[in-house]
Amino acid sequence: MSEFDYDLFVIGGGSGGVRAARVAAGEAGAKVALAEEDRYGGTCVIRGCVPKKLMVFASEYADVVEDARNYGWDLKEGAFDWAGFKDRLNTELDRLEGVYRTLLKNSGVASFDARAKVKDAHTVELSTGETFTAKHILVATGGRPVRPDLPNADLGIVSDDIFHLPKLPKSILIVGGGYIACEFACILNGLGVEVTQIYRGAQILRGFDEEARGLIADSMKERGIDLHLGTDIVEMRCATEDDLAGHAEGRISMGTPMHEDAALHPVSDKRDGPIWVKATNGRSRVFDAVFFATGRAPNTVDMGLEELGVKLGRKGEVIVDDYSQTAVPSIYAIGDVTDRVNLTPVAIREGMAFVETVFKGNPTKVDHDLIPSAVFTQPEFGTVGLSEEEAREQEPVEIYSTSFRPMQTAFAGRSDRVMMKLVVSKATRKVLGCHIVAPNAGEMIQLAGIAVKMGATKEDFDRTVAVHPTMSEEIVTMRKPVRTA
């Protein structure tokens, strides 16, 4: 009989933790328990990828009626029903959470709806007061959105809150320039919200390919998003009667000097009331809501990890080796809590590699190189490999790139543009990076990612016959580089 209650205790019921738990139990025959303090499915299923993508789909219908008319259909426009959509969304999330719970149950995993912390190298303590011992502990607690260090920042919402709004605001300020900020700027704009976005950097989507970033920013502005770069919040508070009067008269906005008046009469101290915001350019405006998309932090607070000897990084991330093992040999960590590559499929891969290493006797490292990803802006952005800027810092490269108006929207009279881009090594001819800005770019980059991962050369792409007429055929028909670096 084992000296421990369980062979494995998983803390966190997100995609990575659930996969590791059920594979360890179902395939490796381990005795496994899992604790989750919130909803099963984690950030991705409950408050991230899945509900966000459904909101992306909903927002894209805004252009359907006008486009259909240009294609000969006699359709009438209607209003977006947020309440109806949200009901269906919650029903779907409930269904998915049930699937996760069922998968665990059917695999023989014991589940605990409680917060867990590590008491010692082999003991987990639950918020219910129960304690359990385990030969191995896996921390898979993910991350959380953070607000900036700013007075009254609690008046704003974060990404976890967006799916629970009782009604859509008429106007919103989105603070941030990363993929979450840009995705929700496009989503809310498509749903009819007046969107202003500010970002302190020189261009949105820092770290991605510069040419793609520029095209996406231009497209967002063309769609009506009021984008301000090199700008940040310096002050925010509940709006006053005087603020509202100045806003109604057009005296205060992000583009005009703020209205000054000594008489301040608070309207509301509730978070759902109008919010007055002042920016670094000295301008101000009243918004119905402020949405902070200013970063995420690993969920390691008050878990007892550091006290036990588990090393944490500057952001609170769990430091692990190539096999996801921490400084305490019996404790491992996977997913966003390690702040390696914060993507759901990566957390799942890390969970599978953990099981292979610890329970199947097959030491397995996770390959974090050349991971395809997508940003669900409008248009979408799919990317794999090195950006042009990263590649030219490493070696001489050739750049193959084209931008054009796609057939479907051009016929409908829209000015939308797409981009296809390959970054190619001069020495080896390998495609080092592929970047696509286009509708359904996420679907395209998944397949392009296979070729790039396999080490395909530009000549391999050239030998592939184009599928015509499609947008993606341009990936295999670009014969001459537009520049070298």
Tokens of 188: 């809310």
Q: Which is the catalytic residue, given 122, 136, 259, 468?
A: 468
**Residue 468 appears among annotated catalytic residues:** yes
One-letter amino acid of 76: K
Name the phi and psi angles at 414, rounded to 5: -90, 155
Alpha-carbon distance 319 to 292, whole Å? Answer: 27
Supply the DSSP symbol for 28: T
User: How many CB atoms are closer than 10 A to CB 97?
Assistant: 17
Supply the DSSP symbol for 257: B
One-letter amino acid of 79: A
Alpha-carbon dihedral 120, 15, 354, 325, rounded to 10 degrees: -40
Dihedral of CA 444/449/450/452: which sign? positive
CB 209 within 8 A of CB 433: yes
CB 254 within 8 A of CB 296: no
State the DSSP H helix or E strand holding residue 83, giving kind and residue range, or none if neither: helix 82-106
Tokens of 127: 């918020």
Alpha-carbon distance 195 to 126, whole Å? Answer: 42
Q: Write the CA distances from 377 to 63, 213, 336, integer angstroms.
A: 15, 11, 22
Q: Longest Cα pair distance anywhere in the chain, in angstroms?
A: 77
User: How many CB atoms are closer than 10 A to CB 184?
Assistant: 26
The angle subtended at Cα 448 by Cα 446 and Cα 454, nearest 5°, is: 105
Alpha-carbon distance 240 to 161, whole Å? Answer: 24
Residues labelled catalytic: 468
